[in-house]
Amino acid sequence: MADDFFIVQGLGGKRTLVGELPVRGSKNAALPAMASALLFDGALTLGNIPLIEDAGFLGDILEELGAQVKRGGNGDLILDTRKVNATALPREIAKRMRASVILAGPLLARFGEVSFPHPGGCVIGNRPIDFFLEGFQKMGAQYEEAKDGYRLRAPSGGLRGTDIFFRQPTVTGTETLMLAAVRAHGATTLRNAAMEPEVVFLAELLRAGGAQINGEGTPTIEITGKDKPLRVPHKTPRVIPDRIEAGSFLILAALAGKDILIKHCEPEHIRVLIELLRTAGVDIEVGKDFMRVRPPVRASESLGKAQVYKSFGIKTHEYPGFPTDLQAPAVVFLTQAEGEALVHETIFDGRLAYAKDLSAMGANITLWDAHRAVVKGPTPLKGRELHGPDLRAGLAYLIAAIIARGKSVLHNVRFIDRGHERIEERLRAIGVMIERVKN
């Protein structure tokens, strides 16, 4: 796989960026929406699908199963799964992309069987699928675990509705079981379900096709299954904006913006970040689908000296709490804020590993354990060579490189490409000195 890299000339702490930053469709909403195509009776068109690697990988898997997947204009993606006849996820791509496990629910419900390789852990930590397997079992499925993966079979009459309590809210688990329950016999209740906006979007999409779902966005989702495919809706469903991209742009704008307008976003989806940044002193104007950030000016600062923001603690939490996917970008903010902050990552156990690299850039971060770190600021950052370990840490490095003094070389751009559509083009348009070097 190509490993492009970015060369970034840092701003050395100056707030000079000006212009508009459009937010693209959400990766984590696009993937379950694409998986849902397996439940529709014709070609499903989805709007606002970002041009990102992960959408490409999932499209490739669907094609290997027999679907037709075409890009339309304007971010549309057209998925026709009527000729799908295979139920085994292709190993190579499926292993590369943990989120492919989202396909298990709709395949099992529609064909009565599915097999997939063990998705395994990944760099952000141990990522089990026990809640998925237990959920499918409660719906009557049997599973066999072999060395190379899982094979699930629905009972002869098809999956049965049931009552499932998640021991911990799981986003993809809630989504894939919801997708299965839409085609199961009878009613399914998902309790302690994930409340993320991506889950709500999926429920709305399924309902537009005739599914009976209530309670999405709360911990209890009720689904009444139907033994027939969903109807393709007349109006093209549009994937919701990426709240993590919007939040990362907000942090960048606070640290390096002179006047930045973040467009096509849903500020309500990142309310927690907006509230925290405002407490820190960031000047954010919020509209229904935009956010504008300008440097704060204190009366005593008529000479133009930028205000130093105040620090805040972070504890990651399921929605509407602080998203784990924004934890690394927020830590970059904290390195520039005054005070000492405790960062507590509660969702994953490998999501503070990037701290070492930020420290090497000049940040003052003490790691207590795999879940907790203390960040003391403000500390100027120096550019350097960086290898982003995953998508979200990659974005944090990018923000750090932009605010640092001097040049940074950012490797592993493929991780950033997995979730963000040609980010360098959008950043260049507001004045970031960034160049992609193709490899």
Query: Is 305 annotated for ligand binding?
Result: no
For residue 232, give the DSSP letter.
Answer: P
In one-letter notation, the amino acid at residue 197 is P
Single out the segment in contact with ligand EPU by CB under 6 A; choices: 104-112, 125-133, 152-160, 266-274. 125-133
Give the footprint of ligand EPU on residues 322-361 (CB under 6 A).
323-325, 347-348
| Closest distance to ligand EPU from the beta carbon of 34 (Å) | 11
Single out the segment in contact with ligand EPU by CB under 6 A; choices: 8-16, 33-41, 121-129, 366-374. 121-129
Total of residues contacting ligand EPU (CB under 6 A): 25
Please, which residue, 198 or 222, has the CB nearer to ligand EPU? 198
| Closest distance to ligand EPU from the beta carbon of 385 (Å) | 23
Residues 6+ apart with CB under 8 A from 36: 44, 106, 179, 202, 205, 206, 209, 230
265 is catalytic: no
Please, which residue, 246 or 430, has the CB nearer to ligand EPU? 246
Our finding on whether 128 is near ligand EPU (CB under 6 A) is yes
**How many residues comprise the chain?**
439
**In which residue are the tokens 């704008």 written?**
253
Q: For residues 421 and 22, give the distance between their C-alpha atoms in angstroms, rounded to a whole number.
A: 11
Our finding on whether 45 is near ligand EPU (CB under 6 A) is no
Our finding on whether 129 is near ligand EPU (CB under 6 A) is yes
Q: Strand, helix or coil at 300?
A: helix
Single out the segment in contact with ligand EPU by CB under 6 A; choices: 24-32, 86-94, 229-237, 298-306. 24-32
- DSSP letters of 115-170? EE-----BTTB----HHHHHHHHHTT-EEEEETTEEEEE--TT--B--EEE-SS--
Please, which residue, 99 or 273, has the CB nearer to ligand EPU? 99
Q: For residues 327 and 25, give the distance between their C-alpha atoms in angstroms, rounded to a whole number.
A: 20
CA 29 to chain centroid, in Å, comes to 8
Question: Residue 307 in contact with residue 336, Cβ under 8 Å?
Answer: no
Query: Is 382 annotated for ligand binding?
Result: no
Which residue in 170, 311, 327, 336 binds ligand EPU (CB under 6 A)? Answer: 170
| Closest distance to ligand EPU from the beta carbon of 326 (Å) | 10
Q: For residues 199 and 186, give the distance between their C-alpha atoms in angstroms, rounded to a whole number.
A: 21
| Closest distance to ligand EPU from the beta carbon of 415 (Å) | 9
Question: Residue 129 in contact with residue 88, Cβ under 8 Å?
Answer: no
Our finding on whether 127 is near ligand EPU (CB under 6 A) is yes
Crossing angle of helices 171-181 and 104-111, rounded to 10° = 20
Find the catalytic residue in 93, 122, 187, 374. Answer: 122
Q: For residues 87 and 307, give the distance between their C-alpha atoms in angstroms, rounded to a whole number.
A: 57
Our finding on whether 284 is near ligand EPU (CB under 6 A) is no
Question: Residue 55 in contact with residue 77, Cβ under 8 Å?
Answer: yes
Which residue in 130, 145, 227, 435 binds ligand EPU (CB under 6 A)? Answer: 130
Structure tokens at 159: 């999956």
Question: Residue 246 in contact with residue 261, Cβ under 8 Å?
Answer: no
Single out the segment in contact with ligand EPU by CB under 6 A; choices: 152-160, 203-211, 319-327, 426-434. 319-327
| Closest distance to ligand EPU from the beta carbon of 54 (Å) | 8
Query: Does residue 29 come out as left (phi exceeding 0), alpha (psi in the -120 to 50 range) or beta?
Result: alpha
Query: Is 102 annotated for ligand binding?
Result: no
Our finding on whether 420 is near ligand EPU (CB under 6 A) is no
Query: Is 27 annotated for ligand binding?
Result: yes
CA 210 to chain centroid, in Å, comes to 27
Our finding on whether 291 is near ligand EPU (CB under 6 A) is no
Structure tokens at 157: 């009459």
Give the footprint of ligand EPU on residues 360-419 (CB under 6 A).
391-392, 419
Query: Is 430 annotated for ligand binding?
Result: no
Which residue in 33, 79, 99, 230 binds ligand EPU (CB under 6 A)? Answer: 99
Binding annotation for phosphoenolpyruvate: 27-28
Q: Which residues bind ligand EPU (CB under 6 A)?
A: 27-28, 31, 99, 124, 127-132, 168, 170-173, 194, 323-325, 347-348, 391-392, 419
Task: Return the active site residues.
Answer: 122
